[in-house]
Structure 1
Amino acid sequence: MTIQIKTELCAMFNIRYPLFLAGMAGGMTTVELVAAVSNAGGLGTLGAAYLEPTAIREAILEIRKLTDKPFAVNLFASRASDNNERIREVQQALNPMRRKLGMASVVGEDVATSNLFEEQIAVLIGEKVPVISTAFGILPEPFMRQAKKAKLLVVTMVTTVREALLAEQAGCDAIVAQGSEAGGHRGTFDITEHRMGANIGTFALVPQIVDQVKIPVIAAGGIMDGRGLVASLVLGAQGVQMGTRFLTAIESGAHDAYKQALLNSTEESTVLTKGFSGRPARGIQNGFIREWDASGVEPLPFPTQNTVTRDIRNAANRQSNPDYMSLWAGQGTRLLTSEQSAEDIVDETIRQALLICDE
């Protein structure tokens, strides 16, 4: 069986290698990291879900100063409203953590999370971002129509065959099949049926989706090197998306304490939690997760839980305290390296894949 590293995906997205950077929100995907991956031949992705529309536009302009290659911007397609019904109970469970960080307790006033999706997507379409990617659902039909009219490519993260079929029917150009090994939030559309997400492993999920859709499939979840790329191609994927692998890159926006926690972790270190955001996400178990679980309190739904824990996460970052950071990570962390550039990571991945294919 002959495996070609350059797939149809490369021609469709005008990239040299079938390797996407995951759109990790929260400042991990700096403009430097995005541009470096694109310049190295992959597709850099800006995780912009938490950014103000003006900040997204500024980041797009900065990326374009650093690269003339295609890149993507990722947003959360979910537009859920806040649910403050148990806000006092949740804040009381969080207050002991605040006190450990030297913060004042919070009584339990209602919170209001900004919903900027329509303004955010308007920036992407107005700036003609080459690729729009979404998590937690499909780009709504009016915006899909605008993106197609502007000749922009649209990618959606999926975690089941059913979601993949919905994405294809909606007009997506490609889909990212995210296995349960993936770090952070995966793109499960609706967690009412799967409380902790649809936890199907990457190499079980990919071939089942490939057999059911006609558009390109990009494998994601636990893929850290050329071996994972080749394995994904053998299973029918046309490329891979890697997130955790780039968190310790020189250009990554991850806090130094976060990077060190990643480098100290193993395949046994991560757990799934809804404690930080109200949506299931994979991260390194730390003080926050242990204390939240011990409280026995059910988290508020996303995005409300994410909003009420933000002050704790921000304080932990200021204090360089990884015990109360959201240390999102996939299950392949033994394969991480320190102080390696994004370009070197891309080059190393492709070289290893080519060597395997030549054997």
Structure 2
Amino acid sequence: MEVLKIGDRSLLYPIIQGGMGVGISLSSLAAHVAGNGGMGIISTAQIGFRDDDFYKNPIPANLRAVKTELDKARALAAQVFEKFKDSNRAAKFLDKLKDYVPFIGFNIMVATNKYADYVIEAVKAGADIIISGAGLPIDLPELVQKGQEISGNEKKTCIAPIVSSRKSAKVILKMWDRKYKTTADAVVIEGPLAGGHLGFSYDELHELGADTMASKNYKRDKYDAEIKEIIEEVRIYEEKFGKKIPVFVAGGIYTKEDIAHAMSLGADGVQMGTRFVTTYECDAPDDYKQTYIDAKEEDIVITKSPVGMPGRAIRNDFMDRLKEGPVPIRHCCNCLATSVCDRKTIPYCITEALCCAANSDESHALLFCGANAYRAKKIEHVADIMNELTENI
């Protein structure tokens, strides 16, 4: 098989591990996916939440953690990759592995307060790629360029927007072309079965049958048509810029069959988050992983995030408590831009709820997940999942 090119980098397998915050995809998970030939992604969402200074100075703590987590991931991925090279799976790549370096980057939400600072810090740290959504990353090319100028890095950090419609893809790619005379190195299409914040309205989710019991109600053909439209839009810019722009489909990708279906639509690969949560190597605490294993499909519901977007999570005591009224905010970490988070009216603090999930305080936790979380039956090793997903690819 051909190694997939993204910018001037190579990816052995067309699988991106989705960025999951807070504290779910940090250095360990990213390193093991990258070391096994996929793309490892670290989420910057409150990435420094374990720092002793986090609650006093959250943004500086987070910015410090960007480099710390990437450095840890690089070192661990190199060790994992050495084991991968000795495996039977590596045989087909032996002639291409000499100069291969595991692919590791960041997911940075546009809605993040001080978004520009996070992007620049990630570039300075040496990220291979920045994947960005939860808003339109219009200024991402300029910020990456600024980060490279500050750091003096010769290696270019690739950029990839997350989109959910042809309209959003067109807006971003057209703006990057007009304003910066550049285009994406990759595009991630995040569909309505994804976990966490979703790029769809409640009505759109209902219309697609993606709000409840998605395995029975989801109108896959309808969104498949949108995926094809987005790919068609991306191909316009491929032709204009004379370069390959790989497209990755995300949301509801759990099995090898799901990957095959996405690629049958014209995608070059997939992004998967939920499948990697229930691994030994995932950065989430064990009880967080167990909630996925214990969840039934009816436990996976759509909830309203404080930022006004729908989100997918596992129903628990915290979500039931929200039905009674707002949960008082104990401490504001200024995690989101004021334009998307009105601290006077939000029903709860998204950072507090997600930090509680990462700190095993389930009674106060928001447990984000994808639509297929109920399919998890056991804790697995990342290497075994990658072996299963890439067999015969």
Alignment of 1:30-45 (within 5 A): 30-45=26-41
Q: 1:159 and 1:74, CA in 2 relative to 1: closer, same or farther beyond 3 A?
A: same
- Does structure 1 conserve the Cα–Cα contact (< 8 Å) formed by 2:277 and 2:289? yes
Q: Distance in 2 between matches of 1:281 and 1:315?
A: 17
Q: Distance in 2 between matches of 1:62 and 1:20?
A: 19
Aligned twin of 2:240: none
Q: Distance in 2 between matches of 1:6 and 1:273?
A: 41
How far does residue 148 in structure 1 lie from its aligned partner after superposition?
A: 8.4
- Does structure 2 conserve the Cα–Cα contact (< 8 Å) formed by 1:76 and 1:134? yes
- Does structure 2 conserve the Cα–Cα contact (< 8 Å) formed by 1:183 and 1:330? yes
Q: Distance in 2 between matches of 1:316 and 1:238?
A: 33
How far does residue 313 in structure 1 lie from its aligned partner after superposition?
A: 5.3
Aligned twin of 1:338: 378
- Does structure 1 conserve the Cα–Cα contact (< 8 Å) formed by 2:103 and 2:128? yes
Aligned twin of 1:175: 187
- Does structure 2 conserve the Cα–Cα contact (< 8 Å) formed by 1:222 and 1:332? yes
Aligned twin of 1:262: 292
- Does structure 2 conserve the Cα–Cα contact (< 8 Å) formed by 1:7 and 1:239? no
Aligned-partner SS, 1:345: helix
Aligned twin of 2:143: 143
Which of 205, 209, 218 is residue 226 of structure 2 equivalent to? Answer: 205
Q: Distance in 1 between matches of 2:281 and 2:22?
A: 14
Residue 244 of structure 1 pairs with residue 274 of structure 2: yes
Q: Distance in 2 between matches of 1:8 and 1:14?
A: 6
* TM-score, normalising length: structure 2: 0.69
Aligned twin of 1:287: 317
Q: 1:19 and 1:152, CA in 2 relative to 1: closer, same or farther beyond 3 A?
A: same
Aligned-partner SS, 1:26: coil
- Provide, for residues 30-64 of structure 1, a one-character-per-residue CA deviation record: whole Å limited to 9, x for no partner: 31111110111100000113231111111111112
Q: Distance in 2 between matches of 1:130 and 1:312?
A: 30
Question: Is the deviation greater in 17-26 or in 164-173?
Answer: 164-173
Aligned-partner SS, 2:130: strand
Residue 69 of structure 1 pairs with residue 109 of structure 2: no
How far does residue 225 in structure 1 lie from its aligned partner after superposition?
A: 1.4
Aligned twin of 1:122: 120
- Provide, for residues 98-130 of structure 1, a one-character-per-residue CA deviation record: whole Å limited to 9, x for no partner: xxxxxxxxxxxxxxxxx3322221211212311
How far does residue 159 in structure 1 lie from its aligned partner after superposition?
A: 1.1
- Which consecutive residues of structure 2, in runs of 5 or more, have no partner in the other structure? 48-61, 78-100, 150-154, 177-182, 209-219, 236-244, 330-337
- Provide, for residues 41-93 of structure 1, a one-character-per-residue CA deviation record: whole Å limited to 9, x for no partner: 100000113231111111111112122412111111125xxxxxxxxxxxxxx
- Does structure 2 conserve the Cα–Cα contact (< 8 Å) formed by 1:275 and 1:289? no
Residue 50 of structure 1 pairs with residue 90 of structure 2: no
How far does residue 278 in structure 1 lie from its aligned partner after superposition?
A: 4.0
Alignment of 1:74-93 (within 5 A): 74-78=107-111
Aligned twin of 1:274: 304
Residue 234 of structure 1 pairs with residue 255 of structure 2: no
- Does structure 1 conserve the Cα–Cα contact (< 8 Å) formed by 2:23 and 2:358? no
Q: 1:204 and 1:325, CA in 2 relative to 1: closer, same or farther beyond 3 A?
A: farther
Q: 1:166 and 1:198, CA in 2 relative to 1: closer, same or farther beyond 3 A?
A: farther
Q: Distance in 1 between matches of 2:307 and 2:14?
A: 31
Residue 155 of structure 1 pairs with residue 160 of structure 2: yes
Question: Is the deviation greater in 29-38 or in 286-295?
Answer: 286-295
Question: Is the deviation greater in 69-78 or in 334-343?
Answer: 334-343
Q: Distance in 2 between matches of 1:49 and 1:197?
A: 27
Q: 1:138 and 1:329, CA in 2 relative to 1: closer, same or farther beyond 3 A?
A: same
Q: Distance in 2 between matches of 1:154 and 1:197?
A: 31
Q: Distance in 2 between matches of 1:38 and 1:263?
A: 24
- Which consecutive residues of structure 1, in runs of 5 or more, have no partner in the other structure? 80-114, 189-193
How far does residue 344 in structure 1 lie from its aligned partner after superposition?
A: 1.2
How far does residue 241 in structure 1 lie from its aligned partner after superposition?
A: 0.2
Q: 1:25 and 1:317, CA in 2 relative to 1: closer, same or farther beyond 3 A?
A: closer
How far does residue 196 in structure 1 lie from its aligned partner after superposition?
A: 3.9
Alignment of 1:180-191 (within 5 A): 180-186=192-198, 188=199
- Provide, for residues 111-155 of structure 1, a one-character-per-residue CA deviation record: whole Å limited to 9, x for no partner: xxxx33222212112123111111212151521544788522101
Aligned-partner SS, 1:14: strand
Letter in 2 for 1:131: I
How far does residue 257 in structure 1 lie from its aligned partner after superposition?
A: 2.1
Aligned-partner SS, 1:213: helix
Q: 1:164 and 1:314, CA in 2 relative to 1: closer, same or farther beyond 3 A?
A: closer
Alignment identity in percent? 25
Aligned-partner SS, 1:212: helix
